Amino acid sequence: MFRRTLLASVGAIALTGSAALAADLAPPPVYLPPPPTWTGLYVGINAGYTWSNNNTVETDTVNVFSIAGLNGQIGNDVAALATGDVHLQNNGFIGGGQIGYNWQFANSWASWVVGIEADIQGVAGGSRTGSVAQSIAPGVFIPFNSSSVITSTMDTGYLGTVRGRLGFTITPTFLVYGTGGLAYGQTNSSTRVTETLGFSDTPNPFGTFGNLNNSRVGWTAGGGLEWLFAPNWSLKVEYLYYDLGRVSYALFPLQQFGMNGTLLETIGASQSSTRFNGNIVRAGLNYHFILGAPAPVVAKY
């Protein structure tokens, strides 16, 4: 009897020791990094290139006054010489910064991301200038050597947008998105007209000038791809089309004097117009402030 009791006690002690040893040898839990999230505030920088869809400044002039006699026809010819289109390229490098906020719905392999972003960029390259030289066919009322030069400039000082974004994660760290909203920018344009008539009593060139400098609001739309290459960092490439609308500005009255500059013979009214719209292709780098990030995943074996 005593022998059986002793064997049972020894067996129980052995089993308890084996269980304790097994517990001591169990691997510790492994803490995996939390899944990536797009939700949160971000700020960043961007750089790229912009080019205009419209590269023409149109100038139209009408004769509003002529003294009696042949000057009525001369006034129309003076106005015709001050009418024309100047073609130029409005493009350059662009760079600036952005700030935005994302909301990610669900946290699965693929999910929707909505957000809002505001940005502002300066445009490098300065004002673009073009000119057109022209003459009209000689006739009874105007000599053959009458001509004009119309010179125009246009540029965009800065561009900015405030846009909504709607995207879809094709992988947890790759986001493809569409975007659209408000665009704003500084628009600048000018026109100068210089005419020379082949009359002996109008020996000196004459002309007119006008310009526009203001801020305008329009719209923008586009899309892009963003890569969350680290928990707090992402790279993006983006295309935007913007349209700030058509602008018009009046030039000073175009006055032609005869009799060696002593007699006002004709007056013309001139107006120039152009449209500020174009394209932006850029890359950006964002830093994400991940507040309330998900806890690490505990993997047990």
pTM of the model: 0.82
Which residues have a Cβ under 8 Å from the Cβ of 184 and sit 6 or more positions away?
159, 160, 161, 215, 216, 217, 218, 244
Q: What is the pLDDT of residues 64-110, one digit of tens each?
A: 988 866 566 788 888 999 999 999 988 899 999 999 999 998 765 56
**Rounded to an integer, what distance in angstroms lies between the CA atom of residue 151 and that of residue 127?**
12
**Rounded to an integer, what distance in angstroms lies between the CA atom of residue 117 and that of residue 139?**
61
Q: Give the pLDDT band (50/70/90) at residue 248.
A: very high
Q: SS3 for 260?
A: coil
Average pLDDT over residues 191-219: 91
Q: Is 126 left (phi over 0), alpha (psi -120 to 50) or beta?
A: left
CATH 3.40.470.10 describes domain 39-293 = no
Sign of CA dihedral 163, 180, 239, 287: positive
Instruction: Give the start-to-end residue ranges of the domains of the chain.
Output: 39-293
3-state helix, strand, coil in the chain (%, to 5): 10, 65, 25
Structure token digits, residue 204: 């000196």
Which of 198, 127, 195, 199 is closest to 157 using CA atoms?
A: 127
Q: What percent of the chain has pLDDT over 70?
A: 79
Strand partners, 227: 174, 235
Check residues 29 and 130 and name the one with the higher pLDDT.
130
Q: SS3 for 251?
A: coil
**Rounded to an integer, what distance in angstroms lies between the CA atom of residue 292 and that of residue 37?**
11
Q: What percent of the chain has pLDDT over 90?
A: 60
